[in-house]
Amino acid sequence: MFLACAAIGMVLLVVQVVMMVIGLDNVDDPSDTAFSVDDAAGGDAFFGYLSLKTVVAFLAFFGLTGLAVENAAWASATWVKLAVASAAGLLAFLGVAYLMKSFMKLQSQGNVELKNAVGQQGIVYLTIPAYRAGMGQVTVVVQQRTMQIKAITQGTELKTGVPIRVVGQHGADVVEVAAV
C-alpha cells in the first residue's frame, strides 16, 4: 500500500514538474479549486485547500514515510505505521496548501478601476467644454497611478490647469468632473 501511494505520488509530481517546465502548469491554478475558503464560510474550510498539488504531496509523503517506518522496530503495529504516514502526508498537504495560498497573495491584476477615481482631485489637462457639450481630459491619481482620463462637466467650461474633483463615472472610460 505504501509503495503504491509513493509511486503514484512521485509519478504525478514528476508529471507536474514536466508540465510546469513546458508551460502547461495552469491546469492546477490554486485559485481554480472546486471550493474556496470564502465559499465555505461557516462550512468546512478544508475544501479551500484541496487541489491536485496538495493531494500529490499527501500521497507522496504518506507513501514514502510509510515505506520508511515499515521496517522500523518501534513501529511494529500497523496502526502506528498508518498514523505516522498519515501525519507526514497531512503535514505535506497543509504545507503545500499554505505555499499555494501564499503564492496567490503575491498575484496582482494591475487593472485600474475607474470607479476608484470618484472623489479624487486632479487638474484639467485638455479644456473641457461646458454643459456636456464635448470631452476634455483630466490628470488624476487613481490607485497610485497618474492617469489622463476623458472627462465631461455639467458646469461651465474648465480650462487647462483648473483644479477639479471627479464626481462620477460615465461609461467605461469617461469621468464627470466639477471645479474645486
CATH number of the domain that residue 171 is part of: 2.40.50.140
Instruction: Give the domain extent around 77.
Output: 2-106
Q: 3-class SS at 164?
A: strand
Whether residue 129 is found in the same domain as residue 91: no
Give yes or no: residues 37 and 100 share one domain.
yes
Name the domain boundary from 87, 106, 125. Answer: 106
Q: How many domains does the chain have?
A: 2
Neighbours of 20 (CB within 10 A): 13
Express the helix, strand and coil content of the chain in percent, nearest 5 each. Answer: 50, 20, 30
Q: Are residues 158 and 100 in the same domain?
A: no
Question: Do 19 and 29 contact (CB within 8 A), yes or no?
Answer: no
- Together in a domain, 29 and 60: yes
The pLDDT of residue 44 is above 90 = no
Do 13 and 81 share a structural domain?
Answer: yes
Q: Which residue has the higher pLDDT, 19 or 32?
A: 19
User: Does residue 54 share a domain with residue 27?
Assistant: yes
Indicate the pLDDT class of residue 47, thresholds 50, 70 and 90.
Answer: low
What is the per-residue pLDDT for 51?
A: 87
Confidence of residue 31 (pLDDT cuts 50, 70, 90): very low
Is pTM beyond 0.75 here? no
Q: Do 127 and 102 sit in the same domain of this protein?
A: no
| Domain limit, last residue, from 106, 132, 166 | 106
pLDDT tens-digit series, residues 99-139: 988 888 887 777 889 999 999 999 999 999 999 999 999 99
| Domain-terminating residue out of 57, 86, 106 | 106
pLDDT band of residue 34 (cuts 50, 70, 90) is very low
101 plus 13 within the same structural domain: yes
6 with 35, same domain: the answer is yes
